[in-house]
Amino acid sequence: MTAHINVCKIIELSQTSDLPKRGWIQACLTCACKTSRLYDYKIIEGYNVNFDIKAHLCPDCKKNLTDISFVRFLHKKCEEKLKKLNIFEIYNKYNMENELYLPVEPKPPAPRLVSSKSSTISI
């Protein structure tokens, strides 16, 4: 049995804004306030790739995580964003089982032996 290593891809969700898309500050998913704070939403585990889904959430909104109705609202926003990103199509693309499978002989032949006096260079 061979060891299998999953790659972890982080997906950050935020509200649409005029901020640079690759910047560390983004718009809070719920209130659009600028923030660098992240909320761990969920991990989607697959065969080859795990997706770590995070949402940008400002400190004020993080205080509301004790309110179940706010959490439901937040999770609904996360799912809407994931649907827009077409995350499940990406998930299926990355997690095709045996996508890069290359068969290997159980006992490959030994390399050819070269005597110490001979050369491996052909002229």
Give the pLDDT confidence score for residue 42 in this predicted structure: 93
Tokens representing residue 62 in the block: 């993080």
Produce one character per residue of 67-106: b if its CB has 16 or more CB atoms within 10 Å, e if not.
eeeeeeebeebbeebbeeeebeebbeebbeeeeeeeeeee
CA-angle at 49, arms to 94 and 101, nearest 5°: 65
What confidence category does residue 98 fall into, taking pLDDT thresholds of 50, 70 and 90? very low
- Model's pTM, two decimal places? 0.68
pLDDT of residue 85: 84
pLDDT digits (tens, 9 = 90+) for 20-30: 988 899 999 99
Confidence band, pLDDT 50/70/90 cuts, at residue 73: very high
Strand partners, 54: 12, 40
Give the DSSP H/E element, type plus range, for residue 68: helix 68-85
